[in-house]
Structure 1
């Protein structure tokens, strides 16, 4: 199949959406399909070339910085007009839209011009995120705007891919009637067979005996890392040598570093920024005696599956998408979002080598249910159904137009 993917975000911007898109595109390309991704150009010196493997085509469009979210880019409107004829002249079996901004607009225009079917992945729980990026506006108004915008956008495509059943329930509450399929992204398990936690500890002066927690996340308010710092503060009373490894970057980094200092955790918390997903990030995961996570807004929570695959015991809340990932998982201890309760679960894991070994051994088994192989076969089957229905849809539309005349 010839598959066109459109997104307002991609590497070097590190987040779950970028990871999901790359997983989709690489997996489909390795299955023998032709994939083209249209994404923003982040400019010279951004390192974006490091993420372009050649397994699939990437078309970068000139973009500008967004004033309230400088990590992201907005594709310039003239670029849409420039690339539209080029993309219209090529044959696509399906148009897969990943984000609701300029990429969505381009995808809908292409579908109107070519008659090709559109599928859109609802990656982000915007109702919960938007208030963190526009703090000067009333939260109730922003939530209303997010719901109305979601309805408008989702009703403009033929089919939705939704990572979890919990997110489908949210869209149903919005009144969205577009057909949807629950299809999580999954991970390529072969990419998580390595990692050397001992090496990571040695390189960064973390003693092998030192109790160590790790989290991997974009550093943003909605990820709830401040709560994990409060948990670490509570744990230090019982584990004075506790080390908390935080891997990731984001707009909340400076605030979190100040909080860490305010809590007296200078010796106990290390911020490592974005690490190489093929090497040092795997090492960082494995350096942890436990992986901790407490984000309440995930549509899925890929980092939990990555921790499972690497055999790192997990202590996490289970809300929205993370509830799906952790349901029936034997590699995780689930906690409510309460400092004492969460710290108590972590304490139990840190103090019991037997429990850690049990959780660790179950991780790769749990992760096996999230392998890309089976999931991508379902994606292809969906694409094929949409592509087969497209000529009938185009004919019905043409007949309706003629009747109206």
Structure 2
């Protein structure tokens, strides 16, 4: 198959969407598929056998790490050269809309996928009143596609309720070879603890430091559990505010980690806290679980697809009083409270992650593609 991806997010940016996309591309090219990726400029020219074409882009004002690509004649020319069997638009925005238009004008089957819950992000930037309008725009874009893929059952349900048609679940995936319990080590643990003593209650967060991640919700946990220590791994536009919020708490700002260092950080924590209630999936949770770190996450969005409460982690209710503060504290206390139970959860977390390799997720995707192309060929023949 020849597949063209249009994505607003790609390397060198690192996040859950880019991880899923790069792992998917790697699996597709290994299977013999020809892949081209259209994404914002600043990208590599090639990735794992796929051609990557950068287009002029400008940063989104409220989310500067996200660049909106502006498709031009070069995109159309490259598409004519490849003659793809199928176009897959990832999180359609400006560049994605160009991909949709090119699919429609050239009669190329179109798939879209939904990864970032942008309507829910708006309220964290003081723009909640625009949520209904954004849903209408998303509906108009996604309903151009033959198939709309979501990364959790909750998102399949919500998008369907909002009027987005032809939705299917694109199963989760995680790299269980990179992220594994054996990478737990004392040197990384000391790095995560910073200047603080090791009490056996090291909480870690990995991800973008931004308003919609609701990281400030962890502060009451530190106040209620004095022996707890917190390591924030990652960076982002909200870091300065978070440094003020967590001032005088046992918190270490670690910055970005990648590769083995990141895998070791996951494995070296006692519990992974992820307070965000806007996640379509929460890939970092799966990575933590693969590393044998039990997790606490919100009982909302795609997270309940991953966490079985009390088995491989703990869920908290983000809609309870005081932004779920009491619920988050109790869930963390439950996870930290008994070393034997936490060990059982560690093992269960790893076993859950082992079910979800990237190769099987990509084979599922290839199955979707093949069905669409077979249906398209039958329609042409008729």
Q: What TM-score, normalized by structure 2, do the two folds share?
A: 0.90
Q: Could you tell me which residue of structure 2 aligns to residue 401 of structure 1?
A: none
Deviation at 1:208, TM superposition (A): 5.2
| 1:379-398 correspondence runs (5 A) | 379-393=365-379
Q: Could you tell me which residue of structure 1 aligns to residue 204 of structure 2?
A: 214
Q: Could you tell me which residue of structure 1 aligns to residue 144 of structure 2?
A: 156
**CA distance in structure 2 between the partners assigned to 1:329 and 1:18 by the alignment:** 30
In the alignment, does 2:230 pair up with 1:244? yes
**CA distance in structure 2 between the partners assigned to 1:255 and 1:52 by the alignment:** 37
**CA distance in structure 1 between the partners assigned to 2:12 and 2:336 by the alignment:** 35
SS at match of 1:10: coil
| 1:30-69 correspondence runs (5 A) | 30-42=30-42, 48-49=43-44, 53-69=47-63
**CA distance in structure 1 between the partners assigned to 2:297 and 2:67 by the alignment:** 31
**CA distance in structure 2 between the partners assigned to 1:209 and 1:297 by the alignment:** 31
| 1:1-400 correspondence runs (5 A) | 1-42=1-42, 48-49=43-44, 53-76=47-70, 79-133=71-125, 135=126, 137=127, 139-140=128-129, 142-176=130-164, 178-193=165-180, 195-203=183-191, 205=194, 209-236=199-226, 239=227, 242-261=228-247, 264-265=248-249, 268-276=250-258, 278-327=259-308, 330-337=311-318, 338-393=324-379
8 A Cα contact 2:189 2:269, kept in partner: no
1:10-68 CA-to-partner distances (Å, cap 9, x unmatched) read 122232222221121122222332222111113xxxxx55x965342211112223333
Count of aligned residue pairs for this structure pair: 374
8 A Cα contact 1:88 1:113, kept in partner: no
Deviation at 1:354, TM superposition (A): 0.4
SS at match of 1:316: strand
**CA distance 1:329–1:183, shift in 2 (3 Å):** farther
8 A Cα contact 1:39 1:60, kept in partner: yes
Deviation at 1:207, TM superposition (A): 5.2
**CA distance 1:157–1:215, shift in 2 (3 Å):** same
**CA distance in structure 1 between the partners assigned to 2:191 and 2:217 by the alignment:** 28
Poorly superposed stretches of 4+, deviation over 6 Å: none
8 A Cα contact 1:313 1:360, kept in partner: yes
Q: Could you tell me which residue of structure 2 aligns to residue 400 of structure 1?
A: none
8 A Cα contact 2:25 2:48, kept in partner: no
Deviation at 1:391, TM superposition (A): 3.6
Which segment is superposed worse, 84-93 or 188-197?
A: 188-197
**CA distance 1:289–1:219, shift in 2 (3 Å):** same
8 A Cα contact 2:58 2:68, kept in partner: yes
8 A Cα contact 1:195 1:282, kept in partner: yes
Deviation at 1:91, TM superposition (A): 2.3
- CA RMSD of the aligned region, Å? 2.2
Gaps of 5+ in 2: 319-323
Deviation at 1:199, TM superposition (A): 2.5
**CA distance in structure 2 between the partners assigned to 1:329 and 1:6 by the alignment:** 39
SS at match of 1:59: strand
1:371-394 CA-to-partner distances (Å, cap 9, x unmatched) read 222222111111011112224456
1:157-216 CA-to-partner distances (Å, cap 9, x unmatched) read 11111112211221122122x212111341132222363332212446565554210111
Gaps of 5+ in 1: 43-47, 397-405
Q: What TM-score, normalized by structure 1, do the two folds share?
A: 0.86
Which segment is superposed worse, 123-132 or 188-197?
A: 188-197
**CA distance 1:339–1:328, shift in 2 (3 Å):** closer
**CA distance 1:56–1:190, shift in 2 (3 Å):** farther
Larger radius of gyration: 1
**CA distance 1:34–1:190, shift in 2 (3 Å):** farther
**CA distance in structure 1 between the partners assigned to 2:215 and 2:290 by the alignment:** 22
